[in-house]
């Protein structure tokens, strides 16, 4: 065992004082940060009243909205006449079209009608005197022959009795509302109804093979138009999904992001040279331009969009202007800071030859900053593709406005899902392309 005497210990302490004579901050800094973080978390819980917020939140709506993203429902209504006849009606814009004959609806010999709600034995049988709901392994009759519907026997937990109707909740499969003179069924299907052809199309409800045959070699449906052109028109002008309008608005969003970023970069580039202290030795001009950049950045893109929609009206011009103003501030700050951090030796070497200022900038500064500037601009462009969607919701044009209109109805959640998926695909493509270009410019490899 090695023994260190007092002189050797003193020498070590003198050589490495940072290990033997640590300050209070060095010894307890980590612990203090941890305690401060915990205290801030407790303060945030109290300030936002998170326990009450979580307790009163309508969590059941999350499942409802998510189910509507990936499914649609059909709502047949059975009206019982005084003579015992049953009239079947569908909503005006039913996904089944104007003359539906679904195979899940069966007319029985005794005059009753049986509707299959799902493939797990859930059915509803409607007759003039009673409605029988079968679910969860039991059949529950509801008498509708008197003044108010009445459940015969014990009421199961999935059925609720009100004064004038009985509601049977069948989960994701749908629900049944039963009153004396009518039975309304909501039957849910997985998928997006009529995504390719709507109910007004000549190709509606035709098998895929038949549609392909008509397009390739079938007789013309309209004498003055080919079947291929007709099919494209029907898809593009689909009244339920509005593919043409959605894709046009998506293209507007991309153009808004590109135009706003490009104009912002072109404006910020020369201003950055004037704002950089080592390029333009005028302190007043430097500070004025830097504060100008701060002002443009401090006003959020969404606020600029609100201002410009008031000035120019709703549309992509206001969106492009909002991105332009924001990017002028952001890129101006990034460019000027990049210029202030360049290596001055190449610049001084070229200046010593007596070269003009333009040539000094061209050969002494540009080779150092171009890869960095382009990389930063590409990143901002990628970010603005997402930002353009947000500002579109306030009237700045693009798919954001379309998305907001679909959400406001609180009924077209499958359309919302469609547009969200398109936005995600576009963002992914631009993110991948931007990363590849940045790595190529910076000389690094992607992983």
Domain assignment of residue 13, yes or no: no
The 10s digit of each residue's pLDDT in 181-205 is 899 999 999 999 899 998 888 888 8
Q: How far apart are CA 188 and CA 192, in angstroms?
A: 11
> Is residue 292 scored above 90 in pLDDT?
yes
| pLDDT at position 445 over 60 | no
Q: Are 140 and 159 in contact (CB under 8 A)?
A: yes
Instruction: Indicate if 143 and 183 belong to the same structural domain.
Output: yes
| Contact criterion met (CB below 8 Å) for 322 and 300 | no
Q: Please give the biggest Cα pair distance in the chain.
A: 115
User: Which domain-ending residue is among 168, 202, 234?
Assistant: 234
- Write down which residue in 173, 190, 207 finishes a domain: 190
Mean pLDDT lowest among 10-19, 132-141, 352-361 = 10-19
Give the separation between CA 246 and CA 419, rounded to whole angstroms: 7
On the question of pLDDT at 40 being above 90, the answer is yes
Tell me which of 154, 174, 190 is where a domain ends.
190
Model pLDDT, residue 230: 92
pLDDT at 323: 93
Whether 228 has a pLDDT exceeding 80, the answer reads: yes
Specify if 42 maps to a domain.
no
- Asked if pLDDT for residue 3 goes beyond 70, the answer is no
SS (H, E, C) the chain: CCCCCHHHHHHHHHHCHHHHCCCHHHHHHHHHHHHHHHHHHHHHHHHCCHHHHHHHCCCHHHHHHHHHHCEEEECCEEEECCCCCEEEECCCCCCCCCCCCCCCEEECCCCCEEEECCCCCCEEEECCCEEEEEECCEEEEEECCCCCCEECCCCCCCEEECCCCEEEECHHHEEEEECCCEEEEEEEEECCCCCCCCCCCCCCCCCHHHHHHHHHCCCCCECCECHHHHHHHHHHCCCCCCHHHHHHHHHHHHHHHHHHHHHHHHHHHHHHHHHCCCCCCCHHHHHHHHHHHHHHHHCCHHHHHHHHHHHHCCCHHHHHHHHHHHHHHHHHHHHHHHHHCCCHHHHHHHHCCCCCHHHHHHHHHHHHHHHHHHHHHHHHHHHHHHHHHHHHHHHHCCHHHHHHHHHHCCCCHHHHHHHHHHHHHHHHHHHHHHHHHHHHHHCCCCC
Q: How confident is the model at residue 36 (pLDDT cuts 50, 70, 90)?
A: very high
Q: How many residues does the chain have?
A: 447
Phi, psi of 204 (to 5 degrees): -60, 135
Give the count of domains, the chain. Answer: 3
- Give the mean pLDDT of 166-186: 90
Return the number of other C-beta atoms located less than 10 Å from residue 117's C-beta: 24
Stronger pLDDT, 442 or 102, i.e. the higher one: 102
pLDDT recorded at residue 259? 92
Please give the C-alpha separations between residue 355 and each of 7, 203, 344, 350, 427, in angstroms, as whole numbers. 63, 72, 15, 6, 45
Residues 260 and 230 in one domain: no
Q: What angle do CA 7, 11, 12 make, to 5 degrees?
A: 120
- Contact assessment for residue 300 and residue 233, using Cβ atoms and an 8 Å cutoff: no
Query: Does one domain contain both 257 and 384?
Result: yes
Q: Are residues 156 and 212 in the same domain?
A: no
- The answer to whether position 260 is within a domain reads yes
**pTM for this prediction:** 0.79
Angle between helix 316-340 and 283-298 (nearest 10)? 140
Q: Is the pLDDT of residue 18 over 70?
A: no
CA dihedral for 205, 210, 214, 218, sign (positive or negative): negative
Q: How many Cα neighbours within 13 Å face the side chain of 42? A: 6
Q: How far apart are CA 115 and CA 103, in angstroms?
A: 9
Within this chain, do residues 426 and 324 fall inside the same structural domain, yes or no? yes
pLDDT at 173: 87
Q: Are residues 270 and 415 in the same domain?
A: yes
Q: Which residues contact 165 (CB under 8 A, 6 or more apart)?
A: 149, 177, 178, 179
Q: Are 63 and 410 in contact (CB under 8 A)?
A: no
Q: 208 with 315, same domain?
A: no
Tokens of 339: 């210029």
381 and 249 belong to one structural domain: yes
Rounded to an integer, the average pLDDT of 152-165 is 90
CB hemisphere CA count around 412 (13 angstroms):
17
Where is average pLDDT lowest: 17-21, 138-142, 394-398? 17-21
What is the domain-level CATH number for residue 359? 1.10.3720.10
- Would you state the pLDDT for residue 411? 74
Q: Cα–Cα distances in Å, from 359 out to 343, 364, 391?
A: 16, 8, 41
For residues 280 and 290, give the distance between their C-alpha atoms in angstroms, rounded to a whole number.
Answer: 13
Clarify whether residues 89 and 133 are in a common domain. Answer: yes
Is 15 part of a structural domain of the chain? no
Q: Which residues pair with 177 in a beta bridge?
A: 167, 184
pLDDT of 342 over the 70 cut: yes
Whether 145 and 224 map to the same domain: the answer is no
What is the reported pLDDT for 77? 93
pLDDT of residue 153: 87
Domain span at 174: 74-190
Q: What was the pLDDT predicted at 38? A: 95
Where does the pLDDT of residue 443 fall: very low under 50, low under 70, confident under 90, or very high at 90 and above? Answer: low
What pLDDT is attached to residue 244?
93
Q: Which has more pLDDT, 4 or 82? A: 82
Structural domain includes residue 69: no
**pLDDT, tens only, 233-269:** 999 999 889 999 999 999 999 999 999 999 999 999 9
Q: State the average pLDDT over residues 80-86.
A: 83
Residue 46 lies inside a defined structural domain of this protein: no
Whether residues 222 and 275 fall in one domain = no
Mean pLDDT of the chain: 86
Same domain flag for 286 and 254: yes
Instruction: Answer whether residue 227 is part of any domain.
Output: yes
**Chain-centroid distance, C-alpha 209:** 34
The tokens describing 369, both together, are 């900053």
Contacts of residue 255, defined as CB under 8 A and 6 or more positions apart, other chains included, come to: 316, 320
Do 148 and 166 meet the contact criterion of CB atoms below 8 Å apart? no
What is the pLDDT at residue 312?
83
Residue 61 has pLDDT above 90, yes or no: no
Average pLDDT, integer, range 414-420:
91
Q: What is the pLDDT of residues 263-288, one digit of tens each?
A: 999 999 999 989 988 888 888 998 99
Q: Does residue 223 lie in a domain region?
A: yes
Give the contacts of 145 (CB within 8 A, at least 6 positions apart).
128, 129, 130
């Amino acid at each position: 065992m090695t023994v260190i005497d007092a002189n050797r210990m003193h020498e070590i302490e003198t050589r490495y004082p940072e290990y033997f004579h640590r300050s209070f901050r060095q010894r307890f800094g980590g612990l203090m940060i941890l305690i401060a973080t915990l205290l801030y978390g407790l303060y945030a819980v109290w300030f936002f009243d998170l326990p009450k917020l979580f307790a009163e939140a309508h969590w059941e709506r999350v499942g409802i909205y998510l189910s509507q993203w990936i499914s649609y429902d059909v709502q047949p209504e059975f009206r019982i006449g005084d003579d015992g006849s049953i009239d079947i009606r569908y909503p005006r814009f039913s996904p089944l079209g104007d003359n539906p004959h679904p195979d899940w609806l069966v007319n029985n010999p005794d005059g009753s009608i049986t509707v299959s709600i799902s493939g797990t034995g859930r059915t509803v049988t409607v007759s003039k005197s009673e409605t029988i709901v079968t679910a969860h392994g039991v059949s529950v009759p509801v008498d509708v022959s008197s003044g108010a519907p009445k459940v015969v026997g014990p009421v199961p937990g999935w059925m609720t009795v009100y004064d004038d109707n009985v509601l049977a909740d069948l989960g994701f499969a749908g629900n049944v509302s039963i009153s004396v003179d009518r039975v309304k069924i909501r039957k849910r299907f997985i998928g997006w109804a009529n995504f390719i052809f709507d109910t007004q199309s000549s190709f509606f409800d035709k098998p895929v093979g038949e549609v392909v045959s008509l397009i390739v070699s079938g007789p013309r449906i309209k004498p003055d138009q080919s079947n291929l052109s007709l099919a494209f028109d029907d898809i593009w002008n689909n009244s339920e999904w509005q593919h043409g309008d959605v894709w046009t608005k998506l293209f507007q969003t991309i153009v808004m992001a590109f135009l706003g970023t490009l104009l912002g970069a072109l404006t910020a580039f020369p201003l950055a040279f004037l704002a950089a202290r080592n390029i333009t030795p005028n302190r007043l001009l430097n500070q004025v331009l830097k504060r100008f950049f701060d002002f443009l950045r401090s006003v959020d893109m969404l606020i600029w969009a609100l201002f410009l929609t008031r000035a120019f009206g709703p549309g992509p011009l206001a969106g492009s202007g909002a991105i332009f103003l924001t990017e002028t501030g952001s890129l101006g700050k990034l460019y000027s800071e990049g210029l202030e951090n360049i290596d001055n030796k190449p610049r001084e070497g070229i200046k010593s030859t007596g070269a003009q200022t333009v040539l000094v900038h061209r050969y002494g500064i540009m080779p150092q900053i171009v890869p960095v500037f382009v990389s930063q601009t590409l990143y901002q462009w990628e970010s603005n593709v997402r930002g353009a969607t947000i500002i579109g919701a306030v009237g700045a044009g693009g798919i954001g406005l379309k998305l907001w209109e679909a959400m406001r109805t609180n009924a077209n959640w499958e359309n919302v899902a469609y547009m969200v998926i398109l936005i995600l695909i576009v963002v992914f493509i631009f993110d991948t392309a931007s990363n590849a270009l940045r790595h190529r410019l910076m000389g690094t490899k992607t992983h």
